[in-house]
Structure 1
Amino acid sequence: MILNGSGTLYVAIIGAGPAGYYTAEAFAAKHDNVHVDIIDRLPTPYGLIRAGVAPDHQSIKNVALRYAATNEKDNVHFIGNLELGRDVSMEELQQLYDVVILATGAPKDRALGLEGEHLQGVYGSGSFVGWYNSHPDYRDLNPNLKTPTAVIIGNGNVAIDVARILAKTAQEMAETDLAPYAASEIHTSILKDIYIIGRRGPVEAAFTPKELGELNKLENCTPLFDPALLEAFEENTDLTVVQKKNLAILRDIAANKPEKDKIRLHLSFFQRPVAIEGDQSLTNILLEKTKLMPNGVEGTGHTAELKCGLLVSCIGYKASPIEGIPYDTRSGVYVSSDGHISGNLYCVGWARRGPTGTIGTNRPDGVGIADKILSEITPSGKAGRQGLDVLVQTRDLHTVSFANWKKIETAEQEATEGNAPRRKFTNIDKMIKIAES
């Protein structure tokens, strides 16, 4: 570590999600002479925790308490409602701070690459999850739930989250922070069948046993699975612990029978979408049967049509390109060498490595990038937060401090009904008004 008492190292972290907070925590724990500003375009902190984690998984959202504790440190500050590119340029931040770190996550949906995916009724999981999680960008998404059949493409936990939220009853969601407008649409929908479609088999699925097991505990939904797909794995001794647990759960699900008046949740493997059809709105998709090959998945040429009015693609995310920043279009991340992009610019978390791992995976990533920066960068006498404050005042920008975010948080908790933990606001102007009250 080359940082010493000769000056303060000013660090700007763009993105107030897990990667941003774990990085700030690491800096604060390692040296007093580091001042960290966590900048986010929304008035609210916590990123994926607030707008990505399923509303019925409140225990996972409790990690926000740890991030709040980081914000209580004298050398860490949250600056909300300040957008890179709109309010301040990258060049300006690099001039004001010794270090700028992109912790923007991977907020953009990966495209299926099929004609018709822009039809009404077709959504990426980022926008759909953002809609039911009260993200301001997606409050007006208005997805089509007036359909008996929904199709979810993907074999990961996000696909299970989407299916579970669509299938749960109002009573099951009563103690969650599901957006009220979404609850109204979901709980009055006419859904009868939900399909989770995966191009590989049950062994290759990226479900965790906890998430998969929840499907067999739904009040008004029966998960269904073809037991014939398990036969090939009965004698396989090379499976991981997770794979064995998932197969055991699927074996239980395979014993289920459709129940009258309950939603049917079909876990379908070895299929991939090859066409999305409709005029202006989605009417059906064409699925091709697949088979596993040594180098991946191959289509068999056997296709079947599935009528549906809602399709949610859960096939992954990518970071948003920023003008002037090297970007790998294939992997959807910023180009870096162990997190160093160039000069005093770095990246961390999903923006660096892609959407992999759990929320906690970002902690060692944040520690690593903090160590790297402290060994490479010395204070250079830059203005830091003081200079940013001047810029904000000059441009008459309405930023939100962590103390003012707490006002928003309190108002959300007071606005709730029943046993729900909060009623998240989606109108930014309203949030700013509360913050400045």
Structure 2
Amino acid sequence: MYDIKWIRDNAELFDTGRRRRGLEPLSAQLLALDDARRAAIAELQKAQERRNAASKDIGAAMKAGDAAKAEALKAEVAQIKENWPALEEAERYAIAELDAALSSIPNTPLDSVPDGADENDNVEVARWGTPRAFDFTPKEHFEIGEGLGLMDFEVAAKLSGARFVVNKGPLARLERALAQFMLDLHTGDHGYMEVNPPLLVRDDAMFGTAQLPKFRDDQFSVSAGRQATPPDPTAEPFVQTSDFWLIPTAEVPLTNLVRESILDEAQLPLRLTAGTYCFRAEAGAAGKDTRGMIRQHQFYKVELVSITTPEQSLDEHERMTGCAEKVLQALELPYRKVVLCTGDMGFASQKTYDLEVWLPGQGKYREISSCSVCGDFQARRMNARSRGSDGKPRAVHTLNGSGVAVGRAMVAVLENYQEADGSVTVPMVLRPYMGGLTHIRR
């Protein structure tokens, strides 16, 4: 979220950033809203000052025996009091209108982000590993899982509908093994602190990381069923009240751990990781990846979050992306690293790297990790600050990334380690987590 003062001081820079995202300039409209806010505040302050002055003058007039003047002043104070609610409402409306406008504006891309319209304009910056040459036609992950009798989409549909899966036996263990391996790597080798956060969060937390209000339709809200009170035999048995949101990623609770606080900069960067289930409505994904585990309503992911000073954030972005790459390298999964263009990057991001893993069943690279630096965009929404040696508080910088998506990692393992007989070789690094199992067979 932007500081309107920054926009006033950097209007052309702000509009240039919007143009790079393919958006219309907006500084003039925002500054007009700010002018209206300032005017409303000034009008209320002016009325308050006049009311205070008139109240004092009433006493002076009465002491001087000027009853007529005292009555006129009393009438003026009464009129100000009558107008007061309207003035307060005008101030609230002007403030809310500006805040609503600011909260719907995406972050400004860094200069190093390539311009472009969509994913076709993303720029590849590196590749790692060589795709395996198969002497048979490789299958997609759902064909492998169903062939093993361990991946069931039909039963999941009976339970929950489309975009869910039931994994069983060694596949369920493989998913757990991947998550545990990633968490052990990030905490043991990469210096992240593991956190077990809530999966249900309130509006403020979703607003803080910019899932709300713009991406409301992509989220799952949760209603608590409460018995109607007092009991009414004619009423519905339960009253539904929406209290929470299911997290779309652990970025939400991890980043919000520092909301409304002032951190000591000597303790930064703060590096956090969590393995959690994540929930997304996929409202804009109709017809995309309808088969398999690529795009589901519920999935498991290991998240990385960093809280830094402004001076640290760009180096931390490179480091965080490298930590995610280490996961894929340890699993010996070929991947490529791309920097997202201005037309494809996320709402809160200043710059994003995607890691795309090779899927031989599909014959293409697919996203498995997205690592973003957000600058102070989220921190301003959360009121998260730090204080350095000069004693002055300032907004922290926040970063988040997948370290990595566990379900997609399992997809990649199944497709890259599949064998002609339908079995799957367990990657060496996962075997200690699989009780020494070397192959998954039917």
Instruction: Give the TM-score of the pair, scaled to structure 1.
Output: 0.20
Higher relative contact order (CA 8 A, sep 6+): 1
Instruction: Give the TM-score of the pair, scaled to structure 2.
Output: 0.20
* Bigger radius of gyration: 2
Q: Which has the higher helix share?
A: 2
